[in-house]
Amino acid sequence: MSTGTRETMLDPLKTWKFLVWPTITIKPIDLLVFLLKTILAIFTVASISLFLYFAFSSQPRLLSSPNYSNNPVRTFDHHKSISRNISGQLYERTNLSHIQFGIGGSAKTWNQRRHYCELWWRPNVTRGFVWLDEKPPNDENLPPTSPPYKISQDTSLFKYTCPYGSRSAVRMARIVKESFELGLDNVRWFVMGDDDTVFFLENLVSVLDKYDHNQMYYIGGNSESVEQDVIHSYNMAYGGGGFAISYPLAAELVKVLDGCVDRYSSFYGSDQKVQACMSEIGIPVTKELGFHQVDIRGDPYGLLAAHPLAPLVSLHHLDYVQPIFPGMTQIDSLKKLISAYEKDPSRALQQSFCYDLKRNWSVSVSWGYTLQLYPSLVTAKKLEAAFLTFQSWRTWNNGPFTFNTRPIGKDPCERPVMYFLDRAQRVNGDRTLTTYTRHVEESAKECERPDYAPALAVKVFNVSSARLNPAIWKMAPRRQCCEVINGGDGVGNVVQVKIRDCNRFESVTPP
């Protein structure tokens, strides 16, 4: 074996080095280091590329515009719809465009009931449909202020065995499923209600904005009448008052809803059937006190004048109670309430108490609705209890209800002097001024006691307040305070009251 051959065997890279770099001598160890560095560099670049790809490809589309279109997609893809609506726009606050309404109605009553929907529906802004059993009469003459309608699918093959109910409950229960399967983009919440439900949209948004729409939430309220809750359920969001279902929960609900309709065929209402499904999925109702089923009869004054410390979200069953303002139709009454609501949505019906210690007066304000003047010092515990001006839904009894009530005496000296909203206006930018005028029933007797005379002389209350920031509903709740501005300066027929934040250690405590 020649010397050259032996050297080549001992150093196999020698020939290769000569061919590639004939004038450069490279040591084997240097080549090995070079190869290792090259592999490490390639691995590092690949890792960074993969990281950037996954990071940016999963970012939410923060700058995409809300989709206000009511046109459903032609074909429904369950998985694509979920990916569009659950993961999108994580950092954008919930707004009205994220809500899809599903309103239950009937073709026979739609021309009468639609007037309630037209009070709150905003064409080209609100999204959703009224679901009817058939085409309504004279539908070509429906005004553009009405919500658009759709015809529900045939439900004749589903079971319904409740002996005292209506099969329409089956159709109503499936509205959430049919709404979901329309596949509208950018939906976070499905809100169900009836065609005689009035929603207060800004407050609805404020309530839903408190919750993570990517979690499974079922939000609503109970009936006011205990007898209804006992018969139906305490764990149910009542459908007339309206309830909200987050998109991920709706995605699960639609998978089992038809089975629930048959399994719970003996249940009376659509809301019962939906809640039964929620129970199978394992989701309890999250109760919000601003959803009002209004399961009462008679005069709703006491309920509205002592509204809970929560934003007003909905009112239902308005055909079954007296008009909320005396001497007006129910529709005109609601228009008047809404006119105040629009000036300061978060403050609507919120109660405030204060005292005029020089005249020993107590004042209770239900903002945008009514004011009560007591010519005595009344405790806050008593003032926050609702006057029993109504009866229970089913039996027309004086209770029980799911909140405290107090009787309203027949003796005029045991009643407060009552005032109702006359007008509401914005003043000085973010402040409002609401005016309340005294109301006297035609056949009512007035108290003739001397201590009542100064109170009876007051004809008007002017109440000023700052616009209430809706962010307050994300904080620990606290009723706001008020003060009588011109108290003790002699008898006058106009009294000024100011509503404000309570001071840190302030309490409403009579001496």
User: Do residues 202 and 470 touch, judged by C-beta distance below 8 A?
Assistant: yes
Residue 347 — very low, low, confident or very high, per pLDDT cuts 50/70/90? very high
The CA-atom distances, in angstroms, between 31 and each of 26, 34, 41, 60, 347 are 7, 5, 15, 47, 78
pTM of the model: 0.82
* Statement: residue 50 has pLDDT above 90: no
Among the residue ranges 15-19, 243-247, 358-362, the one predicted with the least confidence is 15-19
Residue 31 — very low, low, confident or very high, per pLDDT cuts 50/70/90? low
Each residue of 205-229: pLDDT tens digit? 999 999 999 999 999 999 999 999 9
The pair of three-digit structure tokens given for residue 306, joined into one six-digit string: 């002592």
What was the pLDDT predicted at 81?
53
Residue 3 — very low, low, confident or very high, per pLDDT cuts 50/70/90? very low
**What's the chain's average pLDDT?**
86
Cα separation, 274 vs 337, in Å, equals 32
Each residue of 458-501: pLDDT tens digit? 999 999 999 999 999 999 999 999 999 875 444 568 999 999 99
Across the strands, what pairs with 458?
A: none
Cα separation, 340 vs 426, in Å, equals 10
Q: What is the mean pLDDT of residues 417-434?
A: 95
* Statement: residue 183 has pLDDT above 90: yes
Among the residue ranges 107-121, 159-173, 323-337, 438-452, the one predicted with the least confidence is 438-452
Q: How many CA atoms lie within 13 A of 333 on its CB side?
A: 21
Q: What is the mean pLDDT of residues 47-60?
A: 48
Provide the residue type at 498 as one letter: K
Percentage of the residues of the chain whose pLDDT score is greater than 70: 81
CB burial class (10 A; 0-12, 13-18, 19+) of residue 411? exposed
The CA-atom distances, in angstroms, between 290 and each of 206, 216, 222, 479 are 11, 20, 10, 15
Among the residue ranges 22-31, 152-161, 179-188, 307-316, the one predicted with the least confidence is 22-31
* Statement: residue 56 has pLDDT above 80: no
The pair of three-digit structure tokens given for residue 56, joined into one six-digit string: 């940016």
Fold of 78-293: Spore Coat Polysaccharide Biosynthesis Protein SpsA; Chain A (3.90.550)
Q: What is the mean pLDDT of residues 2-19?
A: 41
What was the pLDDT predicted at 34?
60
Cα separation, 149 vs 104, in Å, equals 10
Question: How many residues are recorded in the chain?
Answer: 511
Residue 132 — very low, low, confident or very high, per pLDDT cuts 50/70/90? very high
Please name which of 75, 247, 98, 250 lies closest in space to residue 186, comparing C-alpha atoms.
98
* Statement: residue 7 has pLDDT above 80: no
Q: What is the mean pLDDT of residues 144-164?
A: 96
Please name which of 291, 333, 331 lies closest in space to residue 315, comparing C-alpha atoms.
291
Percentage of the residues of the chain whose pLDDT score is greater than 90: 74
- Every domain of the chain and the residues it spans: 3-47, 78-293, 349-500
User: CB neighbours of 193 closer than 8 A, spacing ≥ 6?
Assistant: 101, 102, 103, 104, 199, 239, 240, 241, 242, 314, 316
Pick left, alpha or beta for residue 317 (phi over 0 → left; psi -120 to 50 → alpha; otherwise beta).
left
What was the pLDDT predicted at 98?
98
Cα separation, 433 vs 422, in Å, equals 11
* Statement: residue 6 has pLDDT above 60: no
Cα separation, 382 vs 364, in Å, equals 11
What was the pLDDT predicted at 33?
56
What was the pLDDT predicted at 409?
84
∠ CA 427-433-439, rounded to 5°: 155
DSSP-derived pairing of the beta strands 189-194 and 243-246: antiparallel
What was the pLDDT predicted at 139?
84
Provide the residue type at 502 as one letter: C
